[in-house]
Amino acid sequence: MDHAVLGTSGMRVSRLVLGTATFGVAPLEKEADRVVGAALDAGINMVDTANAYGNLAHFDREGVVPAAQRTSAEEIIGAVLGSRRDSLLLSTKASEQVGPGVNDSGLSRRHLVEQLDRSLRRLRTDHVDLFYAHHPDPDTPLDETLYVLDELVRSGKTRTYGLSTYPAWQTMHALWICDRRNLRTPACLQVRYNLVARQVESEIAPLAGEFGLSLLAFSPIAGGLLTTAEARERPYTGETRWGGGAFTDSQVAAAARLEEIARRWGHPPARLALAWLLRRPSVAAAIIGPESAEQVATSAAAVPLARELGDEQLAELDTIGSAGIVDPRPRPSRARS
């Protein structure tokens, strides 16, 4: 397994990260230990979770016990890691609605401090390595959120922090605040990024390269879109996994184009999609969401494949989907002065 340095934190993260958004649903709780074990055996050294993963109602699906009776993803991870926790990097997030109260969401001091403490109890650890502001909060001044995140690092409850799903302008604003207020800067940005969702290439990726931020890409195979036609016909793929819509005609056409290339080159489509992503500028890791140990093995093979793909192959993969690129060339990363 290859590794990349996580922003300016000095921590090295495996090029694949184990995502746990649907833990408790797919895989089921009883199968989670096997999936985690397969990830560790493959050399993955980071597990990514959130306080809102697994046991909320929008994860409900036929054949799975309802949300109120399910164990949360954080609790599952806390139970299965055991003594293995010390050898891993662990990340979690807060801001999504996790209760009925008006203060049960957002990025206020109250919510962030309270939710990280609860996450630590569920994860059975005294700290996480990376704590994310899961989504921007229009009701809390960005200064307030950044002050709290800086304090949580100073307290030792998290080693560093990141921003998730933030637009470029707000990320830039955060960096400006940190510079003016002498606060720690985020180490990374968690973004949706795959062959058919490439909006980050217009502003976020150049920003990350310029200011030394790492990108951690979620939905790297678009929720199963970039796999096979058979997989796309499953009842729960893409946004349907949490109550969203089905794939569009243009998305399916792009996936069919990837399948054609994959047949010609002799690789599974998902492996090619992951390998392409790992070669993109500023991408430190792709966050995979395997539902079985076998899917972990398929994904892990993308890491050596990423090293092997030639420029012509990358250029052909680059034609899939809508890029919307301002300048796709790698930029030299540098720390902020």
**Residue 306, both tokens:** 């990423």
Strand partners, 90: 47
Residue 53 appears among annotated catalytic residues: yes
Q: Catalytic residue among 53, 132, 193, 236, which?
A: 53
- 């790492």: which residue's tokens? 214
What are the angstrom distances between the C-alpha of 284 and each of 90, 218, 336?
A: 15, 12, 18
User: Whole-angstrom Cα distance, residue 241 to residue 26?
Assistant: 10
Residues contacting 126, CB < 8 A, separation 6+? 120, 156, 157
Nearest-CA neighbor of 118 among 89, 101, 94? Answer: 94
- Alpha helices in the chain, H assignment, sequence order: 32-41, 73-81, 109-123, 142-155, 168-181, 204-211, 229-232, 249-265, 269-278, 293-300, 302-308, 311-318
User: Whole-angstrom Cα distance, residue 187 to residue 26?
Assistant: 30
Strand partners, 272: none
User: Whole-angstrom Cα distance, residue 241 to residue 227?
Assistant: 16
* Active-site annotation, residues: 53
